[in-house]
Amino acid sequence: MTTGPNDLRHLATSAPRILVVDGSKLVRKLIGDVLVREVADAIVLSCGSIAEAREVLASGPVELVTTALALPDGDGIALARVVRQSSGQAYMPIIVVSGEAQAHLEARRFTEDVTDYFDKALGHNALATFIRGYVQPQPIPGARVLYVEDSRVVAIATKRMLERHGLTVMHFVGVEEALVHLDAHREGLYPGADLVLTDVYLKGELSGHDLLDRIRGEYGYGKRRLPVLVMTGDANPQNQTELLRAGANDLVLKPIEERLLVTKTLFQLRLAQLPETAGPA
């Protein structure tokens, strides 16, 4: 179901309400049609500007917001601030959808009001998968996560977060142990894990950055073959940019928020399963 700002009062409260904000009517329709088809019971509220979005937010709550980076009366970052102020929901997912999202992420231009970003080049079907991970997360049977963390306390907590969502977690204390595991599967079709989750700073000789370099360089695994999520508490924008440019699929900032960690993990796993030719609708 796709509706305009004035229809929100008549909607059932049991379905996820997703606010799609984009200056292009065609783009709004494309995204809305895919979400209605791919996200069960989704109610898509379509707006072309920040002003229209204010009307929707004044009429009732929404579960998730997607926004273009450039809007007729501002930008997606300004919209995110409006959403936070209007809704009072600090943890409502606000997703920036843009072909320039990666550049903005690397330049650390996004504010804390933006929950996540999505690259338009991945296509609208991938966007539906991404959004479904937030509003209707589903487990991926058999998915295995190679997890590197040297803090026992952090490892136990993070492992439980992932296992609660049906993921199998192989925990290694150091990069050296993880590389032994990856080496054992190097000659096969399966790289030894479906996704790698690693902290940056570890007590051994090798860091998470070294593991990322080995996976992308020596092993030659691309982002779809073996996704890598890097956890970091480092607020230095340059260091975060270096990790993304070195081949990290995404970053998970500490302290870890379970919903965000699980969503990013499940999305990268589902994206890896999509055909390589998947692109814009």
Query: 89 pLDDT exceeds 60?
Result: no
127 and 10 assigned to the same domain: yes
pLDDT value, residue 109: 64
pLDDT value, residue 217: 96
Largest distance between two CA atoms of the chain: 60
Mean pLDDT, all residues of the chain: 85
Q: Which residue range(s) make up the domain with 207? A: 144-273
pLDDT value, residue 8: 31
Q: Is residue 46 part of a domain?
A: yes
pLDDT value, residue 15: 79
Confidence label for 278 from pLDDT (cuts 50, 70 and 90): very low
> Sign (positive/negative) of CA torsion 101, 89, 228, 40?
negative
Q: What is the CATH number of the domain that holds 265?
A: 3.40.50.2300
130 and 149 assigned to the same domain: no
* Count of domains forming the chain: 2
Lowest mean pLDDT among 88-97, 104-113, 163-172, 242-251: 104-113
Residue 191 to residue 219: CA distance in whole angstroms: 9
Q: What is the pTM of this model?
A: 0.68
pLDDT value, residue 106: 61
pLDDT in tens, 145-187: 999 999 999 999 999 999 999 999 999 999 999 999 999 999 8
pLDDT value, residue 93: 83
Lowest mean pLDDT among 73-82, 116-125, 143-152: 116-125
Task: Answer with the one of 103, 135, 167 that is the final residue of a domain.
Answer: 135
pLDDT value, residue 244: 84
Confidence label for 198 from pLDDT (cuts 50, 70 and 90): very high
Query: 1 pLDDT exceeds 80?
Result: no
130 and 148 assigned to the same domain: no
Residue 102 to residue 119: CA distance in whole angstroms: 7
Average pLDDT for 214-223: 95
